[in-house]
Structure 1
């Protein structure tokens, strides 16, 4: 099956002229290039199908390459393919053929309709008119998902080779959270898988940047970090991963997906975060990767 992106890039790596810090920014959910074939397969209108997007996140973090750190960004939408899932996390009810044991069909994400190929978008709206064929999943996963993660791994390896440490900032947005009891809902949620995917000093620093601007910051609840954070975050090997969720109401209208009057202020705050990260001695903050001989012991 020919790729839906045969005539256009499915994703893009934007590199700085000079790499000045071991930080890699990743925006895997902000794509909004919808293939015509995919749109013909969905029962949703052009606005409803976009409700799963982390809309405009790549623009919030767009200054990273100008300041010396690479940005990997998806052009394909999350409703089409979710690179923040396992590669074969699929819902068997979506396909017209049985799935073999090689597929993960029983995860909580699959049960929620949000596997590698999502069954629903926000508010549990079904995406597809009809069942898919396995070849469609293979085209998306083998042709886009795996190359995307190869590109991300390459950026982290380059950072490690140049600096002895690598930092992945996984960039996301979230729907506005409802208030929980007497506690106001957070504006920012930082996820480090409950302290397992990055050095404490890194998440402390990021929280300080946001909280010092008056935003409410939470950790790990309700978003502790997805597949990318869990898979790449290996502090004992010198690779640290932190997921950042920015509440969409801060910078956009969640219904129309248009930017609001506060967009530039949030973008400038994110730029301050990027500038802070690349200006620090992150090896000292996070600790260097262990020597190979020490790791072998």
Structure 2
């Protein structure tokens, strides 16, 4: 196992994928960047802590410490956009969410370097994720893959205004059965948090690629506005985890995932 790749194996019919919480940038990539703090600014901060209850539920957890700036394991490896016609970041991003350049002039990765990163960082993550899905499918007739994300509440370049706190993505209904979606929506509706299903974020490549309800793999993406559990950073300052605020959100997420586990076992 790669030292930057973490797999906790559980026996429940739930896999939690955490692809964007990493802040490690390998030295051979970091030397070409404009600034380290800028390069990790768009991380999904504190997501492992936010789902700290998941091991007790029996969940399997797959996460990477590698920053999405090095390679985004939630993007189509072919390089095709997941949101045609909308601004988004690519497989090996060259700009931040705000459109600031990540690389010094002439240092952005070319095709050979992108291919190397796919082999070194993208492939091991997905080998692990697919392996855990296959393992649990031998135990359970159906499982849930839950892709866990967060983002700043205001990113003018990506969406207008303030993002709802809870953003459920199902690839417009294709990645999960209607019963699973209804359970998630019930908990969002009763949470007191603003929420939407298949709004700006319909699910990334992980949700779209692995979500095969007819084959017993139901995939949901949850994109959380970071104000729901932390103080969002001003400029490039480090963010601040807010325990009391996070506790209220964690209670909602734990209840949701508990009911989803029960549903998979029905």
TM-score calculated relative to the size of structure 2? 0.86
Counterparts in 2 of 1:226 and 1:29: CA distance versus 1, 3 Å: same
Task: Note the 1:14-25 alignment, pairs <5 A.
Answer: 14-16=8-10, 19=11, 21-25=12-16
When residues 109 and 167 of structure 1 are mapped into structure 2, their CA distance, relative to the original with a 3 A threshold, is: same
Q: Is the 8 A contact 1:109 1:115 kept in 2?
A: no
Matched, 1:282 2:261: no
Give 1:117-132 correspondences, 5 Å limit: 117-129=92-104, 130-132=107-109
Question: Judging changes above 3 Å, is the alpha-carbon distance between structure 1 residues 163 and 107 closer, same or farther for their aligned structure 2 residues?
Answer: closer
Aligned to 1:205, what secondary structure does the other structure show? helix
Q: CA RMSD in A?
A: 2.7
Task: Give the Cα separation in 2 of the matches to 1:271 and 1:107.
Answer: 29
Contact 2:8–2:61 (CA under 8 A) maintained in structure 1: yes
Q: 165, 169, 172: which one pairs with 2:142?
A: 165
Match for residue 220 of structure 1 among 198, 218, 243: 198
Query: What is the CA deviation profile of residues 153-176 of structure 1, one whole-angstrom value per residue up to 9, with x for unaligned ones?
Result: 111112211011121101111221
| Preserved contact between residue 10 and residue 144 of structure 1 (Cα < 8 Å) | no
Q: Is the 8 A contact 2:5 2:65 kept in 1?
A: yes
Structure 1: 5+ residue stretches without partners: 1-5, 90-103, 285-297
Q: 1:269 aligns with which of 242, 252, 256?
A: 252
Q: 18, 29, 32: which one pairs with 1:27?
A: 18
State the alpha-carbon separation in 1 of the partners of residues 165 and 25 from structure 2.
Answer: 29
**Highest Rg: 1 or 2?**
1
Question: 1:126 and 1:173 mapped to 2: Cα distance?
Answer: 22
* Partner residue, 1:42: 33
Report the 3-state secondary structure (helix = DSSP H, G, I; strand = E; otherwise coil) of the residue aligned with 2:219. Answer: strand
Deviation above 6 Å: which 4+ runs of structure 1? 178-181
1:138-287 superposed matches below 5 A: 138-177=115-154, 185-255=163-233, 256-261=238-243, 262-278=245-261, 280-284=262-266
Secondary structure of 1:52's counterpart equals coil
Distance 1:245 1:107 in 2: 15
Number of residue pairs matched?
Answer: 257
| 2-structure distance, mates of 1:200, 1:177 | 30
